[in-house]
Amino acid sequence: MADATMHVNIVASDHPVWSGDAKSVTIPAYSGGMGILPGHEPVLTVIREGDLVVVDPSGARHSFEVTDGFISFDSNKLTVVIESARSISNQKLDESGIG
Protein backbone atom coordinates (compact mmCIF):
# COMPACT_ATOMS: atom_id res chain seq x y z
CA MET A 1 0.00 0.00 0.00
CA ALA A 2 3.05 2.22 0.10
CA ASP A 3 2.47 3.82 -3.26
CA ALA A 4 -1.31 3.50 -3.29
CA THR A 5 -3.26 6.68 -3.90
CA MET A 6 -6.84 7.75 -3.72
CA HIS A 7 -8.76 10.44 -5.47
CA VAL A 8 -9.55 13.49 -3.36
CA ASN A 9 -12.12 16.10 -4.19
CA ILE A 10 -12.58 19.08 -1.91
CA VAL A 11 -15.58 21.28 -2.62
CA ALA A 12 -16.79 24.38 -0.82
CA SER A 13 -20.33 25.64 -1.16
CA ASP A 14 -19.46 28.31 -3.71
CA HIS A 15 -16.51 26.83 -5.56
CA PRO A 16 -14.45 23.69 -6.01
CA VAL A 17 -11.31 23.93 -3.82
CA TRP A 18 -8.92 21.15 -4.73
CA SER A 19 -8.97 17.88 -6.52
CA GLY A 20 -6.33 15.34 -7.33
CA ASP A 21 -4.65 12.19 -6.08
CA ALA A 22 -3.31 11.85 -2.56
CA LYS A 23 -1.38 9.40 -0.42
CA SER A 24 -3.08 10.39 2.78
CA VAL A 25 -5.50 12.95 4.14
CA THR A 26 -5.96 14.14 7.69
CA ILE A 27 -9.33 15.58 8.54
CA PRO A 28 -10.63 17.38 11.62
CA ALA A 29 -13.26 14.74 12.37
CA TYR A 30 -15.96 15.09 14.94
CA SER A 31 -14.05 13.17 17.57
CA GLY A 32 -10.62 14.56 16.79
CA GLY A 33 -8.16 14.26 13.93
CA MET A 34 -8.74 11.35 11.62
CA GLY A 35 -6.32 10.03 9.04
CA ILE A 36 -7.58 8.50 5.86
CA LEU A 37 -5.41 6.26 3.73
CA PRO A 38 -6.22 4.67 0.39
CA GLY A 39 -8.49 1.67 0.77
CA HIS A 40 -10.22 2.97 3.87
CA GLU A 41 -13.60 1.49 4.64
CA PRO A 42 -16.58 3.44 3.28
CA VAL A 43 -17.38 6.19 5.73
CA LEU A 44 -19.46 9.31 6.05
CA THR A 45 -18.28 11.58 8.81
CA VAL A 46 -19.14 14.98 10.13
CA ILE A 47 -16.18 17.31 10.41
CA ARG A 48 -15.60 20.39 12.50
CA GLU A 49 -13.71 23.58 11.90
CA GLY A 50 -10.01 22.92 11.71
CA ASP A 51 -7.10 22.11 9.46
CA LEU A 52 -7.27 19.58 6.69
CA VAL A 53 -4.01 18.24 5.32
CA VAL A 54 -3.61 16.45 2.02
CA VAL A 55 -0.35 14.71 1.16
CA ASP A 56 -0.08 14.25 -2.58
CA PRO A 57 1.90 11.44 -4.31
CA SER A 58 5.05 13.59 -4.52
CA GLY A 59 5.00 14.08 -0.78
CA ALA A 60 3.96 17.71 -0.86
CA ARG A 61 1.53 18.81 1.82
CA HIS A 62 -1.49 20.95 1.10
CA SER A 63 -3.16 22.44 4.12
CA PHE A 64 -6.60 23.98 4.21
CA GLU A 65 -8.43 25.74 6.95
CA VAL A 66 -11.96 24.42 6.68
CA THR A 67 -15.27 25.17 8.31
CA ASP A 68 -17.91 22.64 9.24
CA GLY A 69 -19.08 20.05 6.77
CA PHE A 70 -18.69 16.36 6.15
CA ILE A 71 -16.58 13.88 4.23
CA SER A 72 -17.51 10.75 2.45
CA PHE A 73 -15.14 8.00 1.40
CA ASP A 74 -16.25 5.32 -1.00
CA SER A 75 -14.59 3.23 -3.73
CA ASN A 76 -11.24 4.87 -2.99
CA LYS A 77 -12.71 8.30 -3.59
CA LEU A 78 -12.72 10.90 -0.87
CA THR A 79 -15.16 13.78 -1.10
CA VAL A 80 -14.82 16.64 1.34
CA VAL A 81 -17.85 18.90 1.47
CA ILE A 82 -17.44 22.08 3.47
CA GLU A 83 -18.90 25.54 3.75
CA SER A 84 -15.70 27.36 2.97
CA ALA A 85 -12.01 26.61 2.81
CA ARG A 86 -8.86 28.68 2.87
CA SER A 87 -5.61 27.29 1.69
CA ILE A 88 -2.70 27.80 4.11
CA SER A 89 1.07 27.19 3.81
CA ASN A 90 0.79 25.74 0.39
CA GLN A 91 4.09 25.60 -1.47
CA LYS A 92 3.01 23.70 -4.53
CA LEU A 93 -0.05 25.71 -5.20
CA ASP A 94 0.47 26.20 -8.92
CA GLU A 95 1.39 22.65 -9.80
CA SER A 96 -1.52 21.13 -7.99
CA GLY A 97 -4.08 22.63 -10.32
CA ILE A 98 -6.11 24.62 -7.85
CA GLY A 99 -9.06 26.10 -9.61
Q: Is 1 in the site for other proteins (CB under 8 A)?
A: no
Site size toward other proteins (CB under 8 A) is: 24
Q: How far is the CB of 13 from other proteins (least distance, A)?
A: 5
Q: Is 37 in the site for other proteins (CB under 8 A)?
A: no
Q: How far is the CB of 10 from other proteins (least distance, A)?
A: 9
- Residue 25 and residue 7: Cα distance in Å, rounded? 10
Q: Is 31 in the site for other proteins (CB under 8 A)?
A: yes
| Cβ–Cβ under 8 Å, residues 37 and 11 | no
Strand 69-74 and strand 61-66: pairing? unpaired
Residues with Cβ < 8 Å from 33, sequence gap 6 or more?
26, 27, 50
Residues that bind other proteins (CB under 8 A): 9, 11-16, 29-31, 41-46, 68-70, 72, 74-75, 79, 81
